[in-house]
């Protein structure tokens, strides 16, 4: 395993260098009380570097998977009657909660709530098996999240997040005597996939299915991640649906199965944050995501059952 150790060392050196650069570039942020804003979502440093928090943890609704570690074989095969396994990754942790909402609510709490509701809904489907990554909120590296999904032999990976905005747009506002940062410029969902994922075509298809379901549920995408400014400038693959390509998102490129990341909405927007705190809105998101997962599972099943001689789709 010396190759793996070498890779890890190189990653640590790279991560250290990246973090030093990031720290240098975020002095304003750290000098204000907005330090927590520096560790949030898709345009935030931690999503494309690695965390060194590595306490192992895996949670699953299936007892047979609950005790597995990434070094153990999940060995579940691909039997014809095998359930479609969807890994749901709760973005961030209680101690490193990601973005901070306009009223101080932590992104992790939003992510955890959606994954909890989604897992309950998906568990009603007999053809699905749900694997919740880091259900108990332990500190965990980004690589470890993917390793757990890989070890569980998941068929698809979905990371759930809630969005912030570029620092240049955030304004300090006092809420109940505390200063938080917010903007009303942006609202809406966005979906990401990575071309570095080994199944990137299926990842893109999964991302499009998610975005289409969100769009059909009446939500609008945010396009602010495509703005040509530092920290954004992401390739907008589908403007109408809000699908972006972001190759170096760790959890998307390190997971072996089709993978996507959903930003459910912009929590630094006080209006959208209030909506996202409502159960109705949460359930509407959950139903849309469920629709997309079922559609993707169905298409995967169809392609597996297609005879080898049939034309590829």
Number of residues near Zn ion (by CB under 5 A):
4
CB burial of residue 196 (10 Å; 0-12, 13-18, 19+)? middle
Q: Which is nearer to Zn ion, 143 or 155 (CB)?
A: 143
Report residue 149 as tokens. Answer: 């999904």
At closest approach, how far in Å is the CB of 186 from Zn ion?
15
Q: Which stretch binds Zn ion (CB under 5 A): 14-22, 39-47, 142-150, 152-160?
A: 39-47
Asked if residue 98 binds Zn ion (CB under 5 A), the reply is yes
Q: Which is nearer to Zn ion, 154 or 159 (CB)?
A: 159
Q: Which stretch binds Zn ion (CB under 5 A): 56-64, 95-103, 151-159, 169-177?
A: 95-103
Q: Which is nearer to Zn ion, 190 or 204 (CB)?
A: 190
Q: Which is nearer to Zn ion, 74 or 243 (CB)?
A: 243
Q: Which residues 201-260 are close enough to bind Zn ion by CB under 5 A?
A: none
At closest approach, how far in Å is the CB of 252 from Zn ion?
13
Report residue 31 as tokens. Answer: 């000098």
Q: Are 110 and 65 in contact (CB under 8 A)?
A: no
At closest approach, how far in Å is the CB of 226 from Zn ion?
18
Closest C-alpha to 150, from 78, 55, 255, 293: 255
At closest approach, how far in Å is the CB of 183 from Zn ion?
16
Residue 17 CA to residue 250 CA, distance in Å, equals: 17
Among 45, 91, 188, 221, binds Zn ion (CB under 5 A): 91
Residue 3 CA to residue 192 CA, distance in Å, equals: 30
Q: Which stretch binds Zn ion (CB under 5 A): 64-72, 137-145, 156-164, 180-188?
A: 156-164
Asked if residue 161 binds Zn ion (CB under 5 A), the reply is yes
Closest C-alpha to 98, from 16, 18, 37, 156: 37
Closest C-alpha to 10, from 18, 41, 80: 18
Q: Which is nearer to Zn ion, 44 or 290 (CB)?
A: 44
**Separation in Å, CA 46 to CA 87, 121, 160, 282, 288:** 21, 30, 15, 26, 28
Phi and psi at 80, nearest 5°, equal: -60, -35
Asked if residue 145 binds Zn ion (CB under 5 A), the reply is no
Asked if residue 159 binds Zn ion (CB under 5 A), the reply is no
Residue 176 CA to residue 191 CA, distance in Å, equals: 33
Asked if residue 188 binds Zn ion (CB under 5 A), the reply is no
Q: Which is nearer to Zn ion, 111 or 203 (CB)?
A: 111
Q: Which is nearer to Zn ion, 84 or 110 (CB)?
A: 110
CA 93 to chain centre: 12
Asked if residue 41 binds Zn ion (CB under 5 A), the reply is yes
Q: Which stretch binds Zn ion (CB under 5 A): 81-89, 96-104, 188-196, 289-297?
A: 96-104
Q: With helix as H, strand as E and coil as C, how does 162-212 read?
A: EECCCHHHCEEEEECCEEEEECCCCCCEEEEECCCCCCHHHHHHHHHHHHH
Asked if residue 270 binds Zn ion (CB under 5 A), the reply is no
Q: Which stretch binds Zn ion (CB under 5 A): 41-49, 67-75, 204-212, 226-234?
A: 41-49
Binding residues for Zn ion, rule: CB under 5 A, are 41, 91, 98, 161
């Amino acid at each position: 395993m010396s190759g793996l150790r070498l890779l890890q060392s190189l990653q640590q050196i790279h991560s250290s260098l990246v973090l030093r650069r990031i720290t240098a570039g975020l002095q304003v942020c750290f000098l204000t009380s907005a330090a927590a804003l520096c560790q949030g979502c898709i345009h935030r440093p931690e999503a494309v570097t690695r965390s060194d928090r590595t306490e192992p943890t895996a949670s699953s609704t299936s007892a047979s998977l609950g005790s597995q570690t990434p070094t153990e074989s999940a060995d579940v095969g691909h039997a014809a009657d095998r359930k479609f396994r969807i890994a749901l990754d709760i973005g961030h942790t209680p101690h490193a909660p990601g973005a901070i909402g306009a009223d101080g609510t932590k992104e992790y709490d939003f992510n955890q709530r959606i994954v909890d509701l989604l897992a309950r809904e998906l568990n009603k489907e007999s053809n699905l098996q749900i694997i919740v990554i880091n259900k108990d909120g332990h500190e965990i590296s980004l690589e470890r999240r993917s390793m757990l999904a890989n070890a569980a032999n998941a068929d698809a990976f979905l990371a759930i997040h809630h969005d912030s905005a570029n620092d240049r747009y955030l304004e300090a506002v006092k809420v109940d005597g505390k200063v938080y940062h917010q903007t009303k410029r942006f609202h809406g969902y966005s979906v990401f996939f990575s071309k570095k994922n080994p199944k990137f075509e299926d990842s893109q298809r999964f991302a499009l299915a998610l975005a289409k379901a969100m769009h059909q549920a009446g939500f609008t995408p945010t396009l602010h991640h495509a703005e040509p400014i530092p920290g954004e400038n992401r390739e907008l693959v589908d403007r109408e649906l809000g699908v972006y390509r972001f190759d170096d998102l760790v959890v998307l490129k390190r997971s072996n199965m089709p993978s996507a990341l959903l930003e459910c909405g912009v929590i630094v927007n006080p209006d959208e944050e209030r909506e996202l705190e409502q159960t109705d809105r949460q359930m509407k998101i959950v139903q849309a995501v469920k629709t997309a997962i079922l559609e993707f599972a169905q298409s995967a099943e169809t392609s597996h059952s297609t005879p080898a001689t049939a034309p590829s789709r």
